[in-house]
Structures are given as C-alpha cells and as structure tokens.
Structure 1
Amino acid sequence: MTVSISNIKASGNGADISGEVAKAVADARLAAGYSIDDLALTTGLVHDEIVRVEAGSDADPAKVRRIAAALKIPPSTLLLS
C-alpha cells in the first residue's frame, strides 16, 4: 500500500505509519538545524503540536504539510522514510 498525505489516517496500520512520520519529521527538523520552537514559529503551530507530531501521537496531514513547507521539503519526504 502506498501511503499519501491524504490517506495516512485511513490506513490499517496507523500506529506504524504515525511512528514513521514522527521519526521523519524529527530527522528533517534536526537536519535543517531547527529547534522545536523554531519549527513552531515557522509553521504557526504551537510547541506542543510539534512535540505530538514528533511523538507519533498526532499525524494530522495538514500539520505534516505545514511542517514540510516550513522545512522546504516535499510532504512525501515525511511519509516515505
């Protein structure tokens, strides 16, 4: 199955996918040299929202798209780790 930004929650193994997205977001943020607060400021999300995405407890596609845009990477990069 191909995971896309629109079907991440609809997939049967959401916990696994959320963990992969979480790791990809954290890795991309660190590679860009951003702190969580830097990324929150850039995306317009709050610190706790970034923390939840990176913990795998919130893989909201809209948030993942905002994070990808802030990091200047395609959203698919965060889904296909």
Structure 2
Amino acid sequence: MSYSGKDYALPETVAVAVGAGANIVRTIRDSVGYSIEELALTCGLAFSEIADLESGIDADPIKLRRIATALRLPENALLR
C-alpha cells in the first residue's frame, strides 16, 4: 500500500474512542477483531512491542507503519 493516507478518515466509532482517550492502535485492532497475537504474526512484531505501543511506552513510527500495513490501512494512518 503506497498511498499516504492524507485523505484517510478513521471509522466513526474509532474516532470517537480515540477522541475520548483510547489508544488508536488498540482501538483499531479491536475494531477489526485481531488479538495482539494475531496482529504480531501479521505484521512481524513481537507481542511485547505491540503491547508497548498500545500502552504508550513506545511510539516508533516504523512499527506503527508496519501495523497500519498489516491492518490494510494507509501507512501513515496511525501517525497522528
């Protein structure tokens, strides 16, 4: 997926949850029905790396792009 995501809008339920303070990675992951383990396998990250992103310990843009690609989102969709 090579488009930038400038015109990408989060689904309304995700946008509302993120606006209320929910973590964007976890909210999107939950909305598509992935467990952390399934997402880890799909994007090639470790369970702990995804858990760190979801808890706010880590915000590595490279990891966020890998997750976005695995979830079939524009690669910059999680970089907000």
TM score, norm. by length of structure 1: 0.67
What is the match of residue 57 of structure 1? 57
What is the match of residue 15 of structure 1? none
% identical equivalent positions: 52
Give the deviation of 1:79 after TM superposition: 2.9
Contact 2:52 2:58 in 1 (8 A): yes
Count of paired positions: 60
Structure 1, unpaired ranges of 5+? 1-19
Structure 2, unpaired ranges of 5+? 1-18
Deviations 1:22-62, CA, capped at 9 Å, x for gaps: 71111110011100000000010010000000001100000
SS at match of 2:23: helix
Contact 1:42 1:70 in 2 (8 A): yes
What is the match of residue 26 of structure 1? 26
Q: What is the Cα-based RMSD across aligned positions, in Å? A: 1.7
TM score, norm. by length of structure 2: 0.68
Structure 1 runs (4+) greater than 6 angstroms displaced:
none
1:2-81 aligned at under 5 Å gives the runs: 23-80=23-80
Contact 2:65 2:76 in 1 (8 A): no
Question: Matched residues in 2 for 1:78 and 1:42: separation?
Answer: 16
